[in-house]
Structure 1
């Protein structure tokens, strides 16, 4: 995809090369993050796992990603994308290889839990791409980064079973999994050599304080603290799923210990937020040019909650939905359901491009309205429908969902440049929160009600988007010498 000013095939431009280097780094993080999924049958057989233990591995794989995205966002703003992305790829490589050659279920589970950290790689590129592209092109650039990189999970599903067979033997899955880790580690070194935080001559703006977002009013401070609560509730829900009440992979004592740790983490985070916002608490007047509205961040959070959150949830349940509804075998159902994920390649860039051309709030409103209607249509699918019509309905809904994701991250870099990593981290974390909430709801209701629930949430968030302020003019950041730099956002 290209525009008159953004030709993705023009590798002579440093920013185009940087975009391709970045999306492929994200692509590899998703390959490594989901490399176990298509090989679960082999892993189950190798360790003689129960169905409950397999489910636990799937939950553990995403559990750490919620806090990891927030933490990675802080690190990116403080140290820059180049070193953080390289470090994440190389450390993820080590964890991946340990997982591949684990000799016990406990080691498998621990490594899968730690692997959730590499799922935060997405956040890093959001800040990096935002540094290299102007406001009029950043939506398309971020869409390409997100859409093409997100395809890593589908690429793993399509290729790893075949690669495991090529290696052959009972350990084929181990070599296939380890191979992805080795590639990620080597690419981490390549990324460090080739990537740069900003174009030559540009300044990489860092927040003056680390530990949390710096807001500009007491009202926003309260709002910020309230928006932190759902992330911990989602982690508590994951713990509940692993407790004796559900999968019984944690004892009552272990589950209680996790709840206590989450409570302590919440208190620590709130204390850090209050520390970095000491001036606001004490009534210090913030310069007008430094102000931004936290409601922008909150609206982006909930928009990603219903877009990416619903995508993760639907991708997880759609194959089984097709199997049960149309009496298909697993292979056919999986192939039909894969259309939902494949739309990422074009839909995310499309959403970003629409945001650049039509306007940020307007495009996000249109796309969330579209996915609301899309999920309402999916809720009406029954066995009486022709399969081809159900697939078309699914892919149409998928387009609006993933284009909506592109529209969200077309706005993130335009809120506050020096804190883009943290904003992207919190927004990204809300996507995982949405997945946890929607999948938990699915365990209590049928598929039709599940789709209607998502549509209802989307309708509410559509209203919220109408209160978002369209980015315009410039945002101000301070240079190291104290002078003010103006960054165009419209």
Structure 2
């Protein structure tokens, strides 16, 4: 449990810092005179670095363990965040957010940590809990960063100095915890990573069964047979070998490897359609509410001025005067828009865990096909609610729809990573790295589409996301996990 709590909290503070700049973007935009597209490009930059980091971090976890990898990511990612106040233009903002994006890679050691620690029957719930509580930082940052910003202003700084000082605080916290976890947690149940026990029976390369408790396949009969053999009972050979062959351990291994690639690719795509949607929305949701809900007959870059008749001292007309604040037409302020956007991320408190628990529940009754069934149910509902959100024209209905699609997107994340530990038991870090990178690849695509729609029709962006999610969800029908597909639920 110490590893469990360390993994989610490290991911939580990393996620909070990763998106720490986003709530303050309206003030930064005002100071630097940035356009909407320049801000959108910086959002793409904050995600693109994470894509590469997640691919490389998975194998590093396999080799060095999650604790040291997590520590390194926290410390390295804190450095550019601490110096983000030095930026002077849009290019500087892009570079800083690109470097801070390193923190997004902390998701892989977080998931790897619990995958190496918990039993196959509850690993879905464990992965979903740590992932969800870590992602909670995406909502928490929209509360804490404006609060820090206002606190620094109260202490005497102007708004353009306040946002710079506010960003130093999470950077200091990252460095402190990056050092602390090296002495306060374990990599696996055996303690240090060098003492870990690996499964000896690999479903893709093993030539013969090895009789010890392993996670070759998620089948209670096989596990029972393995345990019985360990206890010295010899009449389990036939049963174990039969199950071993049925599940493809050592047989048709070439096709198994081909389908392994297909399955990882599909899961990476689908993770881009849930977690990719989440982190893309984290970079735009507060801005969407600012841009979408504006005063009537108001032009951006101007503000209302009441014209007064000096002779009668009466207000006679309202005119528009130039303003340096590009958000003067919005019904909402920076703080109120951030507060609404925080609801999207705060759903992670329980939503991602619900996805993992739902997957574990269906696995209990339907084995592996149950996990695939959970995946297709969650993603279908997510796609539908994204389309509904895109049609909302009032702030209250938009908030309700946002909470609903947030809940379902995060449940889809939990159901996706509930499948990951079963793909290749001895290479969980590698698989988790590629699937996790799929989330960031998806987010880059979604943010690029946002870049082209932000000046014309932001609502259409959510409509397209919903359509993409529904289409990508169909791929669940073709993938095998341990030689089982979703339609095997009807064979029980």
Q: Deviations over 1:126-165 (max 9, x none)?
A: 1111011111111111111111111213222211232233
> Residue in 2 aligned with 1:469?
480
Change (3 A) 1:458 1:205: farther
Q: Deviations over 1:428-476 (max 9, x none)?
A: 2211222222233342473454333223222222221122334589xxx
Q: Is the 8 A contact 2:343 2:403 kept in 1?
A: yes
Identify the match of residue 142 of structure 1 among 114, 121, 127. Answer: 127
The whole-number CA distance in structure 2 between the counterparts of 1:28 and 1:324 is: 29
Q: Is the 8 A contact 1:126 1:413 kept in 2?
A: no
Q: Is the 8 A contact 1:73 1:123 kept in 2?
A: yes
Q: Is the 8 A contact 1:215 1:294 kept in 2?
A: no
Asked if residue 457 in structure 1 is aligned to residue 472 in structure 2, the reply is no
> Residue in 2 aligned with 1:366?
377
Q: Give the alignment of 1:73-92 within 5 angstroms.
A: 73-92=58-77
Asked if residue 381 in structure 1 is aligned to residue 392 in structure 2, the reply is yes
Q: Deviations over 1:62-95 (max 9, x none)?
A: 2211111101112111211111111111222223
Identify the match of residue 331 of structure 2 among 329, 332, 351. Answer: 329
Q: Cα RMSD over matched residues?
A: 3.2
Q: Give the alignment of 1:401-480 within 5 angstroms.
A: 401-442=409-450, 443-444=452-453, 446-471=457-482
Question: What is the CA distance between 1:51 and its match in structure 2?
Answer: 5.6
> Residue in 2 aligned with 1:195?
185
> Residue in 2 aligned with 1:275?
none
Q: Is the 8 A contact 1:94 1:181 kept in 2?
A: yes
Q: Is the 8 A contact 1:142 1:410 kept in 2?
A: yes
Secondary structure at the aligned position of 2:190 is classed as coil
Q: Give the alignment of 1:39-78 within 5 angstroms.
A: 39-44=24-29, 53-78=38-63
Q: Give the alignment of 1:189-268 within 5 angstroms.
A: 189-200=179-190, 204=196
> Residue in 1 aligned with 2:219?
none
Identify the match of residue 399 of structure 1 among 398, 404, 407. Answer: 407
Secondary structure at the aligned position of 2:116 is classed as helix
Asked if residue 299 in structure 1 is aligned to residue 266 in structure 2, the reply is yes
Secondary structure at the aligned position of 1:190 is classed as helix
Aligned length: 382
Change (3 A) 1:325 1:161: closer
> Residue in 2 aligned with 1:173?
163
Give unmatched runs, 5+ long, in structure 1.
1-15, 209-213, 217-285, 474-490
> Residue in 2 aligned with 1:344?
348
Question: What is the CA distance between 1:116 and its match in structure 2?
Answer: 1.4
Question: What is the CA distance between 1:370 and its match in structure 2?
Answer: 0.9
Q: Is the 8 A contact 1:123 1:428 kept in 2?
A: yes
The whole-number CA distance in structure 1 between the counterparts of 2:172 and 2:290 is: 36
The whole-number CA distance in structure 2 between the counterparts of 1:100 and 1:333 is: 23
The structure whose Rg is larger is: 2
Q: Is the 8 A contact 1:361 1:469 kept in 2?
A: no
Query: TM-score, length-normalised on structure 2?
Result: 0.69
> Residue in 1 aligned with 2:222?
none
Give unmatched runs, 5+ long, in structure 2.
206-248, 295-329, 364-370, 485-492
| Stretch deviating more after TM superposition (54-63 or 88-97) | 54-63
Q: Is the 8 A contact 1:367 1:401 kept in 2?
A: yes
Query: TM-score, length-normalised on structure 1?
Result: 0.70
> Residue in 1 aligned with 2:172?
182
Question: What is the CA distance between 1:338 and its match in structure 2?
Answer: 3.5
Change (3 A) 1:83 1:321: closer
Q: Deviations over 1:269-311 (max 9, x none)?
A: xxxxxxxxxxxxxxxxx94497552222122111111111222
